[in-house]
């Protein structure tokens, strides 16, 4: 269907150019979509010069044909429908109102966010979408900035998935061990179980997320600024949030506050800008407001989540099947309780799909960047640059650093592991280093990239679920991920030196 791309000879450090363009444009313009588009155009120019347009369309087709991209797009669509049904049927607002029984402070709202992120360990995509949709109205009430909510979610999602052996990450990485003949007890899964204690970024990031959630860690940078503004005037959104974005995210919050707290004590102080943007929507009635009951029911949301996690686990971490099952349960509850009529339900499904179009486009462009990096031999160049300094003692630390930087720069996490592991594990064996430890360093680096990458699917989905832009979320996360990464690097230097 598409012309085969020509594999280029190594062109030195120029292979970094698409990544540098993406990061530069994203910082200067704060437009993730524009940044990714510029990066793909730069990659096409490097690959074929004046034939860049044909190459760009070729890689667009390759991204669409990528099985992982198709799998992710299907999850995006299903979750778009599920989240919209949650919101329009009142299931999420019921859950939020139910939590008021025991969530009575800012700290309790952020701690509940962390605990939900831990419970939804099966997959990081599932994690950020479900937690964001269910908790934003709860944390908004206590003036927790959306960037803080997202940072807690993202600092937990991939790290918990990489250290729990019954997740999509664990199954995939176990297969990589087995494919390279690194087994314990005759299986790659046994090797992965042995590697879990050494996935340092996963463990440390979860500790950092917990400290953030209970308020025992200072706020840095963007998060400090956003928290001060939220405390001052109740504006939980980043500064560059547009009025349309505030209206889309804020109308449901104001409608819920007014419907559940007549005396206004819970509302505290909501910003005038947010009030003005959402006034019309509130007067006409937010979607699903007719469903609000005097006694909120938490079981519809909890049943959907239990179905999602349970079906995902029993189907060998098949997130698509789990999400589809949760969607089916939600549809039955919505119709049985007459929360929405059939026509309203179908309309909600279409709105849910439309709400994810921006995320879908970002995802396709991100996969285009990954495909171009493979042809540009970026991984080979990175390995060639670092290989001369590799020793058994330094191997784990260097592998973690290289994988973390590569994953952050490219938005490639599982693909990174699939490309790097066949190089790193044999190299570790040849150097006399522990291949299980080397594999753990690869997986830590992948989790670091997933947690921080501006145009990675994890950041894109998390920012969508809480209604902010990806670059706002990334900037809030970087100081905390940097702490976890630095401590992880030190740990890998220590275990490498003592020869664990």
- Cβ within 8 Å of residue 206, ≥6 positions away: 118, 155, 156, 159, 160, 163
Residue 165 is predicted with a pLDDT of 81
User: Which of 46, 47, 15, 17 lies closest to 381, judged by CA?
Assistant: 15
User: Which of 1, 67, 68, 61 lies closest to 372, judged by CA?
Assistant: 61
The domain locations on the chain are 75-357
pLDDT digits (tens, 9 = 90+) for 263-297: 334 334 333 333 333 333 333 333 343 444 457 78
* CA dist., res. 151 & res. 280, Å (int): 31
Residue 41 is predicted with a pLDDT of 92
Q: Which residue has the tokens 């959907």?
A: 304
Residue 460 is predicted with a pLDDT of 84
Q: Average pLDDT, whole number, for the chain?
A: 80
pLDDT above 90 coverage of the chain, percent: 30
What is the DSSP-derived secondary structure letter of residue 234? -
pLDDT digits (tens, 9 = 90+) for 395-443: 999 999 988 887 887 776 776 777 677 778 888 887 788 999 999 999 9
Residue 487 is predicted with a pLDDT of 97
pLDDT above 70 coverage of the chain, percent: 85
pLDDT digits (tens, 9 = 90+) for 354-383: 877 877 887 788 778 878 877 887 767 766
∠ CA 115-99-165, rounded to 5°:
20
Q: Which residues sit opposite 187 in a β-bridge?
A: 184
pLDDT digits (tens, 9 = 90+) for 116-132: 899 888 778 778 888 88
pLDDT digits (tens, 9 = 90+) for 203-258: 999 999 999 999 999 999 899 999 999 998 888 998 877 776 676 665 444 444 43
* CA dist., res. 95 & res. 112, Å (int): 12
User: Do 84 and 384 meet the contact criterion of CB atoms below 8 Å apart?
Assistant: no
User: Which of 175, 193, 166, 170 lies closest to 418, judged by CA?
Assistant: 175
Report helix angle 200-213 to 395-410, nearest 10.
60
**Interior/surface letters 315-330, b for 16+ CB within 10 angstroms, e for the rest:** eebbbeebbbbbbebb
pLDDT digits (tens, 9 = 90+) for 144-158: 999 999 999 999 999
CA 37, chain centre distance (Å): 20
CA torsion 229→235→236→239, rounded to 10°? -70
pTM given for the model? 0.72
Lowest mean pLDDT among 66-70, 78-82, 348-352: 66-70
Q: Which residue has the tokens 């269907």?
A: 1
């Amino acid at each position: 269907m598409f012309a085969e791309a020509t594999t280029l000879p190594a062109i030195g450090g120029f292979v970094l150019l698409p990544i540098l363009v993406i990061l530069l444009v994203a910082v200067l313009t704060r437009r993730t979509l524009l940044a990714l588009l510029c990066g793909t155009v730069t990659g096409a120019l490097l690959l074929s010069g004046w034939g860049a347009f044909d190459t760009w369309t070729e890689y667009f087709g390759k991204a669409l044909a990528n099985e992982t991209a198709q799998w992710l797009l299907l999850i995006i669509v299903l979750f778009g429908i599920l989240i919209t049904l949650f919101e329009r049927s009142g299931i999420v607002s019921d859950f939020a109102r139910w939590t008021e029984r025991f969530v009575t402070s800012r700290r309790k709202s952020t701690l509940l966010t962390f605990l939900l992120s831990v419970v939804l360990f099966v997959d990081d995509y599932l994690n950020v979408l479900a937690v964001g949709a269910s908790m934003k109205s709860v944390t908004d009430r206590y003036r927790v900035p959306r960037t803080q909510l997202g940072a807690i979610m993202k600092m937990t999602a991939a790290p918990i998935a990489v250290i729990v052996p019954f997740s999509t990450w664990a199954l995939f990485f176990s297969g990589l061990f087995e494919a390279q003949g690194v087994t314990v007890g005759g299986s790659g899964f046994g090797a992965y179980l042995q590697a879990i204690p050494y996935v340092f970024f996963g463990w440390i990031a979860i500790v950092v997320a917990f400290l953030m959630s209970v308020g025992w860690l200072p706020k840095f940078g963007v998060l400090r600024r956003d928290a001060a503004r939220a405390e001052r005037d109740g504006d939980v959104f980043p500064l560059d949030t547009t009025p349309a974005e505030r209206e889309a995210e804020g109308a449901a919050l104001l409608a819920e506050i007014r419907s559940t707290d007549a005396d206004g004590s819970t509302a505290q102080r909501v910003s005038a800008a947010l009030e003005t943007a959402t006034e019309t929507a509130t007067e006409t009635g937010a979607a699903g407001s007719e469903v609000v009951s005097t006694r909120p029911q938490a079981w519809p949301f909890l049943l959907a989540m239990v179905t999602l996690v349970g079906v995902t686990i029993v189907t060998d971490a098949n997130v698509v099947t789990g999400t589809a099952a949760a969607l089916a349960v939600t549809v039955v509850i919505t119709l049985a309780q007459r929360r929405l009529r059939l026509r309203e339900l179908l309309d909600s499904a279409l709105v849910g799909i439309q709400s994810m179009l921006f995320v879908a486009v970002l995802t396709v462009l991100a996969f285009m960047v990954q495909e171009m990096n493979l042809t540009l031999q970026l991984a080979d160049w990175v390995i060639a640059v670092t290989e001369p300094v590799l020793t058994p003692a330094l191997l784990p630390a260097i592998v973690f650093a290289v994988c973390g930087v590569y994953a952050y720069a490219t938005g490639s996490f599982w693909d990174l592991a699939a490309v790097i592991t066949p190089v790193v594990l044999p190299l570790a064996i040849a150097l006399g280093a522990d291949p299980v430890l080397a594999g753990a360093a690869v997986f830590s680096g992948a989790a670091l990239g997933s947690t921080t990458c501006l145009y990675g699917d994890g950041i894109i989905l998390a920012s969508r679920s809480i209604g902010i832009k990806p670059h706002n979320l990334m900037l809030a996360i970087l100081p905390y991920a940097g702490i976890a990464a630095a401590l992880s690097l030190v740990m890998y230097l220590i275990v490498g030196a003592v020869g664990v």
